[in-house]
Structures are given as structure tokens and as C-alpha cells.
Amino acid sequence: PAPPRAAGTAEGHRHAPDSAVTPDHPAYVIFTSGSTGRPKGVVTPHRGLAALATAQAERLGIDDGSRVLQLASPSFDASVMETLMALATGATLVVPEPGPLAGPLLGETIARRRVSHALIPPTALTGLEPDGLDCLRTLIVGGEACTAPLTARWAPGRRMVNAYGPTEATACVTMSAPLAPGATPPIGTPLHGVRAHVLDTLLRPVPPGGTGELYVAGPGVAQGYLGRPRLTAERFTAEPGGPRGSRMYRTGDLVSRTQEGSLLYHGRADDQVKVRGFRVEPGEIVAALQARPEIRAAAVVLRQDDPAGPRRLVAYLVPAAYPAEAAESDPAAPSGIATDRRPEAEEAEKIDTAALRTALARVLPDHMVPSAFVSVPGLPVTANGKLDRDALPAPDFGAATGDTAPEGPAEETLAALFAEVLALPSVGAEDSFFALGGDSILSMQLVARARAAGLRLTPREVFEQTSVRAL
């Protein structure tokens, strides 16, 4: 005999089975990294999942014939988007073989498994070419800022959408319209039910065109951080003018709103760094670098490899001429850094850094020009497809020094002081103090040591006449 049907599944039943679970109960907990090193468990309710599934089906053109790639780790909230993309619409979820999936292997998997929809972080796209991926009808980028050059490479021939959202708001809160080559792509407009507020430091609305911090409210806002009431209170606040009892999440992201209502991303409020006393947004430097035709991708970080040494801006560059197939990661290399050493690969790594520095100086203030440029075959990524900052190699600042020898006792003394302050073996007579990593604090140290050695200098002179010979 046939087994009895479960309650609510037999023909003629009009009601769903009873359940004690409500839309406001937790659906899952995903841990994200914390600034203190202690991970934060984000408690996400069921209510936001239904809203996200509906929005994705509407905006991404998914139907029961679509094939969605499961690229993200289950420990990353992008996997929630991928799963809902497929299972909430009747599409197929394509689960690849175990192991890292990037570069040419990612392209091969998309083509062989006939993937039609994929969510891929921008960094993971830098080692992949769009040629031969006609099956990929919809490409969603997210997790990191999407650049104009990336859009120019990938938007033609397919629907390309820029998605944005924090883990604390059920993975995604805004999506762009289909992108076209041109200006920097926006992160788009809020999904159905999402309320996006661009506010200043006093929680006042910022007018269109002005930059403020993004706060989001709506059904997808998480309950908070598991077992962290103080941190929850800091990041989840009452929504001004919202429904009674509604809360909003403070994203920490800087955005502006266009006259048409679309949001533009301007980086993290807490990513800003201080260089020579100036606040610097690394994203601005990255944008200037990636506007150069010889550069495919770039990252800029502030490094201090020697605890006693100076902090320096370092730019990591993926040359546009680097062979795409050479970016395939060596499993033995840390965090997927490519290790191709063929002659054509090594030749492609040679970027004229002197010319690049001159070009950047025309469009950026002096304090925003990186102290060092490091060519890499590809930007290393974490298991979640984001930039792996810890795997970026330390620059060799000694290689940036020139070979012009100092002449006379004054130049020799000053060159030795340059090297001492900058923690370098030696310094050439025409090397710029700031190009080698100097800043306002180090310039004062230089002046003090120069005066102790009998050389009269002022900090202003160091800023204006930056080399040993000029001083």
C-alpha cells in the first residue's frame, strides 16, 4: 500500500501544515570578519529571503531554463543569492567540482557546464577573458567595486548587472540596470521593499550629488550580531521617519545619489588612510591606475612591513599585456598568485613605472601617488573571491632607488640620512624622498637629524625640493 501522505500535501487540502516558524525567525547565521579579529555572526530572518528571491527573478531574467553557477563558498552570503537565483525560480543550480575556481579554469567550467547566470567578484574576472563564453547571458558582479574598464570588457553581448549589499541586509539591497561601456557603473537602485538612506554624520539626508554614508532598511535587515548586543546597537539604529519600530543598518559605505535616483559607490568610510597628514581614499588611486591602457587591474594598499619603518602606499598592477592563460594559479602558490615565468609573461610585467608615476602626478595630488609599483600576474583572491591583501607581496623599495651617487660631504651626509629615515640600504642623489615612502612625519625626523649633523633644512624645503641634490 502507498504510504500515507504528509499533512498539507494530499489533494484537496487547502491549508499549509502548521508551523511555529514565522518570517521573523532566523533563517541562517553567517559569520563575517571583524575589525578586532573576532568574527561577527549575522542573524538573518526568513522575511528577507522571500524579498530577495522575488527581486532577483525580476531583475536578472531567470527562468526554468537558466543555469546558475554556485561559485561562492557556503560560508559567504553570495551563496545565498546564487541558491535563491536557481531554486526559487525553477532554474538549475550548477555545482562545480571541489577546489578553487578562478582564471581559465573558471572560464572552462562556465563553457562546459553551459552556465547562463553567474555572480563573480570583479577581482576574479581579471584573469578571465569573455571570448568563448556566449552561454553566459547574465553576469552579476558584486562584493567589490566594479570599474569602467571591467564593464567595457564584459558588458558587450550579455546582460551585466552590478549588485551591492552587505551580509547584514540579506546579501543584496541594490542592483544596477544592465550596464553598458562608459562611465563608472552605479550600484543601482534599491530592490523592492528596500529603503536606502544617504546620510551625513548627523544622520541628515544628503542632497543628490553629495556623498554620504549609506544606511539601509527594509525586510532584509538582519536581527543583529549573535551574542553581541553592544555591537548590534552600534550598527543597527532606529530608522528616522520609517515605520514604527523599524531599524536601519549602517553600511560604512560612502555613496552619492544621482538625479535619476541611482546610487554611485565611493568606497569604504573606514578604508580611508592617512598619508602625510592627508586622508586618502585608495579607490581614487585605483580608478586613476585602471584608466591607463597598459593596466588591466590594480589594487592600492597602505603597507608597513617593518614595525619600526614608515607606512607607504603601494600599488599592485596587473599589466594589460599579461597573457590571460598565464594568470592561472599555481596550487602551490599562496592564495592563488600566478607563477608563470615564461619570457612573454615576464616581458608583459614590465610597466614603465617612471612614466606611470609622471602620469599619475598630473591627475592626483603628490601624496596620493604610490611610493612603489609592483607588477603581478593577477590579484590574489580569498575563497570568497575578494582581494586577499595578506597575500600581496611586499615591495622592494631598494629597487626604486636610483644609481646617481652623491657628490661631496653634504650630499653624502644627506643621502645617508635619507636612507636611515626611510629604512633603506642606500639612496641616490636624485631620488625623491616621497617617492621612496617618505611622509610629513618622516620629513620632520629628517630635518631634525640633518640639523644634528650640521645641515640646516626645513620641512617646507623637503616638500618642495625632494631629492638630496635639490636640497
Q: What is the mean pLDDT of residues 72-81?
A: 89
Of 10-24, 57-71, 84-98, the range with the lowest mean pLDDT is 10-24
Q: What is the mean pLDDT of residues 119-125?
A: 85
Q: Is the pLDDT of residue 347 over 50?
A: no
Of 406-410, 431-435, 457-461, give the range with the top mean pLDDT.
406-410
What is the residue extent of each domain of the chain? 26-274, 281-324+351-391, 409-470
Better pLDDT: 385 or 207: 207
Q: Which pLDDT does position 174 carry in this prediction?
A: 97
Model confidence at 1, pLDDT cuts 50, 70, 90, reads very low
With 0-12 / 13-18 / 19 or more C-beta atoms within 10 angstroms meaning exposed / middle / buried, residue 12 is exposed
Q: Is the pLDDT of residue 453 over 60?
A: yes
Q: Is the pLDDT of residue 111 over 80?
A: yes
Q: Which pLDDT does position 338 carry in this prediction?
A: 42
Return the percentage of the chain with pLDDT > 90, whole number.
Answer: 44
Q: What is the mean pLDDT of residues 220-248?
A: 94
Q: What is the mean pLDDT of residues 280-303?
A: 88
| CATH label, 409-470, candidates 1.10.1200.10, 3.30.70.2080, 3.40.640.10, 3.30.420.10 | 1.10.1200.10
Task: Please state whether beta strands 312-319 and 295-303 pair in parallel, antiparallel, or not at all (unpaired).
Answer: antiparallel
Q: What is the mean pLDDT of residues 367-376?
A: 84
Model confidence at 123, pLDDT cuts 50, 70, 90, reads confident
Residue in this structure with the C-alpha cell 567589490, named with its chain if needed: 144
Q: Is the pLDDT of residue 357 over 90?
A: no
Task: Give dist(CA 72, CA 78) in Å, integer.
Answer: 6
Q: Which pLDDT does position 398 carry in this prediction?
A: 64
Of 290-299, 338-347, 355-364, the range with the lowest mean pLDDT is 338-347
Average pLDDT value over all residues in the chain: 83
Model confidence at 309, pLDDT cuts 50, 70, 90, reads low
Which helix (H) or strand (E) is 439 found in, with range? none
Q: Is the separation of the CB atoms in 146 and 162 below 8 Å?
A: yes
Say how many CA atoms lie within 13 Å of 53 toward its Cβ: 14
426 Cα distance to chain centroid? 35
Model confidence at 328, pLDDT cuts 50, 70, 90, reads very low
Using a cut of 0.75, tell me whether the model's pTM lies above it.
no
Closest CA to 253 of 224, 283, 213: 213
Q: Is the pLDDT of residue 364 over 80?
A: yes
Of 323-327, 329-333, 453-457, the range with the lowest mean pLDDT is 329-333
Residue in this structure with the C-alpha cell 586577499, named with its chain if needed: 388
What SS3 class is residue 112? helix
Q: Is the pLDDT of residue 217 over 90?
A: yes
Closest CA to 26 of 226, 193, 173, 192: 226
Q: Is the pLDDT of residue 289 over 90?
A: yes
Output the DSSP codes for 153-168.
Answer: HHSTTSEEEEEE--GG
H runs (alpha helix) in 94-201: 103-112, 122-125, 148-154
- Cβ neighbours of residue 134 under 8 Å, at least 6 residues apart? 157
Q: Which pLDDT does position 278 carry in this prediction?
A: 57
Q: What is the mean pLDDT of residues 287-316?
A: 83
What are the grid coordinates assigned to 45, written together?
Answer: 530572518
Task: Give dist(CA 155, CA 184) in Å, integer.
Answer: 13
Return the percentage of the chain with pLDDT > 70, whole number.
Answer: 84
What are the grid coordinates assigned to 328, written together?
Answer: 592561472
Is the CATH number of domain 26-274 3.40.50.12780?
yes
Model confidence at 112, pLDDT cuts 50, 70, 90, reads very high
Q: Which pLDDT does position 439 carry in this prediction?
A: 64
Q: Is the pLDDT of residue 179 over 90?
A: yes
Task: Give dist(CA 290, CA 369) in Å, integer.
Answer: 14
Please state which CATH number belongs to domain 281-324+351-391.
3.30.300.30
Report phi then psi at 271, rounded to 5: -90, -10
Q: Is the pLDDT of residue 336 over 70?
A: no
Q: Which pLDDT does position 138 carry in this prediction?
A: 97
Q: What is each CA distance from 5 to 12, 15, 16, 137, in whole angstroms? A: 12, 14, 13, 41
Q: Which pLDDT does position 8 carry in this prediction?
A: 43
Closest CA to 254 of 217, 207, 200, 316: 200
Of 50-59, 88-97, 436-445, 449-458, the range with the lowest mean pLDDT is 436-445
Of 102-106, 245-249, 315-319, 354-358, the range with the lowest mean pLDDT is 102-106
Q: What is the mean pLDDT of residues 24-35?
A: 82
